[in-house]
Amino acid sequence: MSEDPLIEQLAKMSTLEEVYDIAKDCVRCPLSQSRTKVVFGEGDSHTKLMFIGEAPGEQEDIQARPFVGRAGKFLDQLLKLAGLERSKVYITNTVKCRPPNNRKPRKGEMEKCNPYLKKQIELIKPKVICILGNASLEALLGKTSPISELRGKPIEKEGIIYFVTFHPAATLYNPAAKGEMEKDMLSLKELLEKKKIKI
């Protein structure tokens, strides 16, 4: 039996709507005090491809939608490059509430939020998860190696292929990362084609 009552509560749920109903009023960590809105995630709940980022930023916190600010605009371009429609994938974050001043989410915050992410993955059952940046890498695979070493090398674990790349926001202050992320998106496209995964 689990020691975390949330995990027990989520175990009984079979839809994302039920999970959102709990998450939207979550007060499990201090981020709940500073957030405007919980940013649960959006997209196709039957998709084979999920994108998982770090944490909502200012625009996301206002609009309650993931990746709608500057980093989101770049993610939209990357999706287009890979021939993907945003509405046909599912996009969410490691933590569902904005950290003050967009600081990195803390380990304890990520741990408190993790049951929601795990349950989203369990219900969506993606074949591929694109990990966007370090927080997502840590939450999903543990901090193994730097992204620069993991990118382009899909990792298969428990029936899911994890495809690691940088966080789109990295390109806002490191223009060189832009080309690297574009290359990664083309590799992701190839991977989906090779595995005959239609999105």
- Binding stretches for ligand URA (CB under 6 A): 53-57, 60, 66-67, 69, 71-72, 93, 169
Nearer to ligand URA (CB atom), residue 43 or residue 66: 66
Question: Which residue type occupies 57?
Answer: G
Nearer to ligand URA (CB atom), residue 69 or residue 115: 69
Q: Which of 101, 89, 16 has the alpha carbon at shortest distance from 56?
A: 101
Nearer to ligand URA (CB atom), residue 53 or residue 126: 53
**Min separation Cβ 194 and ligand URA, Å:** 27
Nearer to ligand URA (CB atom), residue 19 or residue 169: 169
Q: How far apart are CA 66 and CA 40, in angstroms?
A: 8
160-165: strand order across its sheet: 42-43, 90-93, 49-53, 128-132, 160-165, 155-157
Task: Tell me which residue has its CB nearest to ligand URA.
Answer: 53
Nearer to ligand URA (CB atom), residue 56 or residue 115: 56
**Min separation Cβ 158 and ligand URA, Å:** 24
**Min separation Cβ 12 and ligand URA, Å:** 28
Three-class SS of residue 40? coil
CB-based burial label for 178 (10 Å; 0-12, 13-18, 19+): middle
Q: Which of 67, 34, 37 has the alpha carbon at shortest distance from 172?
A: 67
**Min separation Cβ 128 and ligand URA, Å:** 18
**Min separation Cβ 2 and ligand URA, Å:** 28
